[in-house]
Chains A and B, each alone.
Chain A
Amino acid sequence: MSTPSSNSMNRLSHTVGKYRLPIKPTSLFVLVLFTATLLASMANLWVPADSAFHVSTYTITLLGKYLCFAMLAMAVDVVWGYCGILSLGHGAFFALGGYGMGMYLMRQIGDRGVYGNPELPDFMVFLDWAELPWYWLGMDNFGFALLMALAVPGLLAFVFGWLAFRSKVTGVYLSIMTQALTYALMLAFFRNEMGFGGNNGLTDFKEILGFDLQADSTRVSLFVITAVMLALGYVVSQFIMNSRMGRVVLAIRDGEPRTRFLGYRSERYKVWLFVYSALLAAVAGALYVPQVGIINPGEFSPLNSIEVVVWVAVGGRGTLYGAVIGALLVNYAKSRFSVVMPEGWIFALGALFVWVTLFLPKGLAGWAQDKFFKTEEHPSEDEPLSSDMDTPISHSAKGAS
């Protein structure tokens, strides 16, 4: 509590509760994440396959996928948990990022496709397209593709957010609008004429930056990169939330009209936060595609986006680590469940929605905080409320003016 600003740091950080963690939560998070990543990677690369400690490449890829989802959940949490903007369309930004990466990977296939056309991806040959559409130009350049994978979702978020927040579309209206947005994009990407592979999407990738996508080393590298990006995203998000901007954002969540009367242009805060969140989602999408090897319009489906919201709700919105934990837990459960009893999974997921909203409104993180780090929410009685009331007002009023 050296500076006043650290006093006012929100209660989600390490000052929460009477227990003080010996380490800042952000550092703890990064530490745990890196340790786990490192262990899993080493167990895959250096532990022999017959050892009990060996982690298969399949598992590594699965973990990488989870981390991408965790990042996506974090993106949703940034806008929903901290700013109260419930986006039911974040899957759109994720998928757009994925398509950007997918286009690059598609161009890397070159003439190794089924039709062996060096210039056109298979589906274009199949559709009798004569040449590459303009928006595919330059996508064979990794840097440019990556730029597009971020710029397009970022721009979409900016335009959509700018339109929506400027005219004060809030609450459920905004949620439904975001859902309509991703739904419209899904319909669009299903069309063959769009030039993104229609129904089947983009798949059959061969290599990334010259590295074979099937190779263990590539997979582990992608996994590690994902972990690093997740950590980076976490640190940046935490930085934003701990800055005054984060406090304004919380203020907007809890009382937007009041914030505006204080002189903050809430719509601009919301737009930039929305764009930042969309970029996080896009990065997650771009990392996801090379690992799972496919991107198709199904990623735009409103159901996917709502599922992300459940991850966040389960983990605990308003806490970044909660979102990450929620994403990991639910997805792990999904992988386990849907193998054992695929029908049961949907029931379980549905029940989870209901259960969490009814009984766990703050998610696991909130529940754990209430249970183990009981905060003192009531004023301490040792200081009378009006202790300072006797001092002459003239002095203080002058001081304030």
Chain B
Amino acid sequence: MMAVGCLFLLLLGSGGAKANSASVSTELSKDVEINSSVPVDVTERTSAEALLEQLTHTKLSKAAALLEQLEQSGDVRVRAVFQTMLDGALYYQRDNRQLLAVRKGEDKSLNASDVFSGESLGVVAKKSVKKIRVNNRLRVYLRGALSRLALNADSADDRNIAVMSMLDKLSADNVAALQALDERETNHEVKVSIALALAMNTLATSSDRDQRLAAIEVMDGRLEAPVKNQLRALVDSAVVDGSIVNSSLDTQVIAAAQKALQNIDGKVTAYGYVEQLFFGLSLGSVLLLAAIGLAITFGVMGVINMAHGEMIMIGAYATFVVQQLMPNFLEYSIWVAIPAAFLTAGLVGVLIERCVIRYLHGRPLETLLATFGISLILQQAVRTIFSPLNQTVVTPEWMSGSLEINAVLSITYSRIYIFIFALIVFAALQLVMKKTSLGLQVRAVSQNRSMAKSMGIHTDRVDALTFGLGSGIAGIAGVALSQITNVGPNLGQAYIIDSFMVVVFGGVGNLLGTLFAGFSLGIANKFLEPATGAVLANIIVLIFIILFMQKRPKGLFPQKGRAAE
């Protein structure tokens, strides 16, 4: 609590810390006073070079004033210096007072780089450099200064971000900076953001009713957390049990604020649902990926493959191995990993089919047991070859990060890609099954084995290929899963029951049913989660499926007709 309190004070302090040297807040005033006594001519426009050089001499207590001058110097390089300093990585070389960015490597060696260009300058000895120290107060100042400096960024998007980041620190200097920007800004989006910030400032500082109402109107429906917090604080200060009690505040303003707040809450809730829906789709696509191979082996061939989860695991390990083999091309490794995983898992699948499953035709329960044995062997093999521990699979740069749609809704890229990937895999599989001769043969064999055989279809070959296809797709699913979960020997086990549930729920032998089941179970799970917690949601969904199966033993989309009997 103490720490938070201090931080808060510091935040307040940083608000008034700049502007011009005359108006300084309580927190920094002491430093500035001391600063005025040092032999540096403040009025003279010192070049940034000189100021930077000075930085290496200045005591910690006097650094603030120097930084303010630096900010005002308007030099573009100042941002880099501030950022490095904020990171605690600003050093200078003892001999020539050259500023350096120094970061500790994994082996604790000190790697120096140029502050401005980021160019590496190699390892430096610990003795030869000295850190320019920062304290909390300076950090607060640096953050403020950085966001103000960001207002001058070239890209409109960056300026917009800078404006947005100021919403919860509308100090006088910041407001002044915003107003200054507003005058020269041409980008519409940025202007809207500035208007919002200024409206928030007006609401906080003005006492004129019309101005405040106008400000609330601007703020109405905005999703940014500071907007909501400010309105909430305003309403809370005046409203108890739904009626306005604090008569000192303008009732009209309060009512408007209340309404705006309701609008915001409504929007936030709506976006919350959108987010849950997306999480649901994301989980659904994972379920779909995990289950889709099973939809082939179980749904089409009728083989209960308990080693299906291990096929997924093999795919994930294939990704890991590929990354180990090409450590310098991690960004592209995934494009190698996908075919590699497909082939590895597919080959293992063909092997299993040839060696075990083909001897167990028409004995589903025995197949179940045998493939379970295989799953144990595969798991243990992975434990022996690699290790029982989880392996790290690197996520490519382009898959990390998230897409921010607005202040309350952001979606991670990896999930978006997996969603798209799942749909592509599904479409490709559907194409194979419907349009290729292999697909035709597979369907023929699954519907009437002996008839297909007498038509000259090599049922043995088709069986092996189908099983290989199903396993290969499970392998591809493994590539996708390796990006979002731990890659370990138990990876597959976590998905096997869910996969079966999806296939059974969707209706055996129906790929479209699998798609539908995957997504609906995923969404159901995620919508239950806020109320019940993840585990209970999982249990409820399982119980739901068990009960559902009583009503419709053949799933959502059963195969009909006499052949299905």
**Nearest CB of chain A from residue B126's CB, rounded to whole Å:** 46
B539 at the interface (CB under 8 A from A): yes
Indicate if B356 sits at the interface (CB-CB under 8 A).
yes
Q: Is the CB of B538 within 8 A of A171?
A: no
Total A-B contacts with CB atoms under 8 angstroms apart: 115
| Residue B143 at the chain A interface, CB threshold 8 Å | no
Tell whether, in the assembled complex, residue B377 and residue A350 are in contact, meaning their CB atoms are under 8 Å apart: yes
User: When A176-B504, A358-B359 are in contact, do A350 and B497 touch as well, CB less than 8 Å?
Assistant: no
User: Does A171 lie within 8 Å of B504, measured CB to CB?
Assistant: no
Rounded to whole angstroms, the CA-CA distance of A190 and B535 in the bound complex is: 9
Enumerate B350-385 residues with CB–CB distance to A below 8 Å: 356, 359-360, 364-370, 372-377, 379-381, 383-384
Interface residues of A in 143-198 (CB under 8 A from B): 160, 163-164, 166-169, 171-173, 175-177, 179-181, 183-184, 187-188, 190-191
B539: chain A residues at CB < 8 Å are 184, 187-188
B500 near A164 with CB under 8 A, answer: no
Given contacts A86-B365, A357-B360, A358-B360, contact A180 B380 (CB under 8 A): no
Establish whether residues B356 and A358, one from each chain, have CB atoms under 8 Å apart when the complex forms.
yes
A179 to B23, CA, bound (A): 73
Contact B538 A173 (CB under 8 A): no
How distant is B389 from chain A, measured CB to nearest CB, in Å?
Answer: 14
In the complex, B550 has a CB within 8 A of chain A: yes
User: CA A169 – CA B370 in complex, angstroms?
Assistant: 22
Contact A352–B542 (Cβ < 8 Å): no
Expressed in whole angstroms, the Cα–Cα distance for A310 and B377 within the complex equals 15
Contacting A at CB under 8 A, from B526-542, are: 535-536, 538-539, 542
Chain B residues closer than 8 Å to A302, beta-carbon distance: 497
B504 to chain A, nearest CB (A): 6
Interface range for B: 35 or more
CA distance A5 to B551 in the complex (A): 39
Confirm or deny: A309 has a beta carbon within 8 angstroms of a beta carbon on chain B: yes
Given A184-B543, A347-B377, A358-B359 in contact, is the A172-B369 Cβ separation under 8 Å? no
A325 to chain B, nearest CB (A): 18
Q: Shortest distance in angstroms between A246's beta carbon and chain B's nearest beta carbon? A: 21
Pick from B380, B501, B553: contact of A347, CB below 8 A.
B380
Partner of B376, one of A169, A309, A350: A350
A313 at interface by CB-CB < 8 Å: yes
A272 to B368, CA, bound (A): 25
A172 to B543, CA, bound (A): 18
**Complexed CA–CA distance, A349 and B377 (Å):** 8
Cβ contact of A180, chosen from B364, B369, B546, B553, cutoff 8 A: B546
Q: Which A residues lie within 8 Å of B367 (CB)?
A: 357
A353 within 8 A of B: yes
Q: Do A187 and B535 touch across chains, with their CB atoms under 8 A apart? A: yes
Contacting pair B375 A173 (CB below 8 A): no
Beta-carbon contact of B377 and A167 below 8 Å: no
Is B545 an interface position by the 8 A CB rule? Answer: yes
Whether A351 is near chain B, meaning CB under 8 Å from some CB there, is yes
Pair A357/B383 contact, Cβ less than 8 Å: no
In the complex the two chains form, what is the Cα distance from A357 to B501 in whole Å?
Answer: 25
A-B contact list, 22 entries, CB within 8 Å: A163-B547, A168-B553, A169-B549, A173-B549, A180-B546, A184-B539, A191-B535, A191-B536, A306-B369, A310-B373, A346-B377, A346-B379, A347-B377, A349-B373, A352-B373, A353-B369, A353-B373, A353-B376, A354-B373, A357-B360, A358-B356, A358-B370
A188-B536, A353-B370, A357-B360 given; 18 more Cβ-contact pairs under 8 Å: A88-B368, A163-B550, A173-B504, A175-B368, A181-B542, A183-B542, A184-B538, A187-B535, A188-B535, A343-B380, A343-B383, A346-B379, A350-B374, A353-B373, A354-B370, A357-B373, A358-B356, A358-B360
Lowest 5 A-B CB distances belong to which pairs? A353-B373, A350-B376, A350-B377, A346-B380, A184-B542
